[in-house]
Amino acid sequence: MNLGVGAAVVDGSVVAGDVAIEDGRIAAVALPAGSGRGLAVPGFFDLHTHGFAGVDFATAEVDEIDRVSEALTGTGVTRFQPTLPTLRPEAMSHAVARHSAATYPGAKFGGSHLEGPFLSSRYPGAHPKQLLLEPDLEVARYLVESGRVAQMTMAPELPGALDLISYLVSRGVKVSLGHSDADSVIARAAFARGATGLTHAFNASRPLRHRDPGITGAALVDPDVFVTAIVDHVHLSGEVAAIVARAAGDRLVAITDAMAAAGLGDGEFTLGDLEVNVVGPVATLSDGTIASSVLTMDAAFRNLVDIGLSVAEAAVATSLAPARMAGVDANSLRPGSPADLVVLDADFAVSATYIDGSKVFSR
């Protein structure tokens, strides 16, 4: 089957011509396109999303998670990590178990992402301070053994954090630094222990200063560290997003950090146990603190192009780089790779989404 597109992003480069799919995989690229229109890009992989379409991954039942798996394909997502804010350990454990029990009939399960509970009380963001914990091996083991945990965000300056990073890495959990007051010395020590990511650059962490770069500065200059960013024009200005993109290069990972309100418009919603007000693209707590987002991955792709990235660079940040950060085979669209892809129109809106070669969404 040919897609009928005019070009595709293959291994991070734009290749003119059509794409053929056979037996759920990419069979050929650069085929004669004829009158083909549209751009095929690797399916989007959201490493950090708290919910979508009215479903909160902190409380979602299995059938609700499956419903979101299908709904996310309309935004071009073919794989995602349901993300938990800081909750009581028992609540986090039960949520992870439900994540792992779902069937994911649409976008694939990338494992759970635990954003907490080992975060700094100085930079909690929307996380309840009273639920934050100091690193605890037994609590971490309890959470990791609850189901398929793929990633944990933690503050490396907390007592015992470096040893906990080593433990998590030994269990196959990717560690990202965030919600942290760490300086660059501690950040580098955490990277040496195996941490490989920075959670939402510039947000809810020690600010980057010219003599005190913190975790953000340390991550931006480390060639082995992935830098995630919420490119919604709310969490970062266009200029700062462009700085992050230029510094990180192919280590830039676009995330949504979305909450259940994403896709539902304005109103009052919940994020874990917190009440959140959404007006336009901005979600805030009652005190004005930015809480999560209502960003979608297709909008993130468009915003990346808007700040100056090429189409190929935007595709890397929304698919290939997240896959590399997660340690899974990158969906490159090279022949032989799984046919998990998105067809975008001239305005970079999602026309169709394919998973394992089957069309799961069409507009």
Walking along the chain (363 residues) 10 residues at a time, the average pLDDT comes out as 95 95 96 85 98 94 98 98 97 98 98 98 92 98 98 98 98 98 98 98 95 97 98 95 97 96 87 79 83 93 98 98 93 93 97 97 94
CB count in 10 Å sphere of residue 300: 26
Options 257, 298, 329, 340, the catalytic residue? 257
29 contacts 337 by C-beta, under 8 angstroms: no
Interior angle at CA 90, CA 89 and CA 92, nearest 5? 65
C-alpha distance from residue 228 to each of 201, 245, 260, 320, 345 (Å): 6, 10, 20, 13, 26
Partnered with residue 115 across adjacent β-strands are 153
Look at residue 292 in the predicted model and tell me its pLDDT: 82
Burial 71-105 (b: 16+ CB within 10 A, else e): bbbbbbbbbbbbbbbbbebebbbbbbebbbebebe
Segment (H or E) for 267? strand 267-271
Burial class of residue 260, CB neighbours in 10 A (0-12, 13-18, 19+): buried
pLDDT of res. 286: 80
* Cα–Cα distance, 260 to 324 (Å, whole number): 26
In the 8-state DSSP scheme, what is residue 203? S
Active-site residue, 183 included = no
The owner of tokens 């930015």 is 290
